[in-house]
Amino acid sequence: MVIQLKHPPNLLSKRTISTKHGQSSDIRPFSVLGSTLDYLMSLMNSAAEPFETVHDFIFDRTRSIRQDLSMQNIVDKRVIHMYEKMVNFHVISHHKLRLRSSGPDSFNISSLHHLNMEQLAKVLTSLYNLYDLNRDHNSVVHKNEPEYRSLYVLLCLNSESLPEGERLSLWFRRVPSPVIKSKEMSFARRILRYFRMGNYSRFFSTIAAEASYLQYCALEPYIDKVRALAVLCINNGGYKLHPYPMAHLSNLLMMEESEVESFCNACGLETSLDEQGNKVLPTKQPAFNHPKAGYGEYGFSGLENICRTL
């Protein structure tokens, strides 16, 4: 990867030192680690290389930063901010790698996505431990803790835990009460409930109204799954003589109308025009099937408002 470095090369060198055999001269001081991390985060939106290349470059170096912090046993509040930045990297990568998973390098990107999720689980676990270690006797919640705690719930919608993570039912028991009562965790718990109940209308409207950008990135892989559920319910539950207007479906699924038609086709369903020339989805079609992974890239019409939280 060709990237113009703004810091001396030794700040960004790829590191393979083990914790057991590392020498004190090999370990970078905290100030250098902080500068290196800030530089790496500035590369996230680089257009000079494909994102998977940028991700690989940052991935190795953030892992070595965590190793150096661990070897020096630095666990104070300064490290919390560094780990939050590293969580940002992995969560946004979770979103961006998925968007590139339908290309010619889909196999390699799928592998990167798996490794990214493994590291995200580890970084989140370390961050939560840091929150607990730095909590004072008044049990004050750290500024960003509710949002970063909520990410664990949102990443576990379709399972009980992240890779190498704790089961969600047990995890909730250890979350501080102020975090449980926070608006960020309230949002995550409602999204979890709507997802598991199949309440697609509330699922989409709540994301559009309340999600932060990080929360959206964690949720984005589930959005098309819930859209497929919505189309299935409408197709099976509708009246054959009353096709479902595509404009209504567009509003429900938070998609552009042209994308809704493509999505319905990916589900094996045909669309048509009514007598007024409006696009509709005939219901009771027998050919519904769940779209295959990587079948398309569809937007979310509430994303503009979500991005304003950045």
pLDDT above 60: residue 18 = no
Tell me the per-residue pLDDT of 165-222, one tens digit each, with 9 for 90 and over. 678 888 899 999 999 999 999 999 999 999 999 999 999 999 999 999 999 999 998 9
**Helical H runs in the chain?**
30-42, 51-71, 77-99, 106-133, 145-155, 168-171, 177-180, 183-197, 200-210, 213-237, 246-253, 257-266, 303-307
Six token digits for residue 291:
């779209």
> Sorting pLDDT into bands at 50, 70 and 90, what band is 241?
confident
Beta-bridge partners for 244: 281
Name the residue with higher pLDDT: 166 or 68: 68
The contacts of residue 168 (CB under 8 Å, 6+ apart) are: 152, 153, 156, 160, 161
Tell me how far the alpha carbon of residue 81 is from its chain's centroid: 19
Instruction: Determine the Cα–Cα distance for residues 154 and 137; give it in Å rounded to an integer.
Output: 29
Q: Which residues of 214-227 are buried (b: 16+ CB within 10 A; e: fewer)?
A: bbbbbbbbbbbebb
Q: Could you tell me which residues come within 8 angstroms of residue 169 by beta carbon, excluding any fewer than 6 positions away?
A: 160
- Position 153 scores a pLDDT of 95
Residue type, 56: D
Summarised one tens digit per residue, pLDDT across range 22-59 is 455 578 999 999 999 999 999 998 888 889 899 999 99
**What's the rounded Cα separation, in Å, for the pair 53 and 49?**
6
Output the CA–CA distances (angstroms, integers) from residue 70 to 36, 63, 79, 117, 275, in the order listed.
Answer: 16, 11, 10, 21, 68
- pLDDT for 301 equals 87
pLDDT tens per residue across span 251-280? 999 999 889 999 999 999 999 999 999 999
**Of 151, 145, 206, residue with least CA distance to 177:** 145
Give the residue from 189, 175, 215, 223 showing the smallest Cα distance to 87: 215
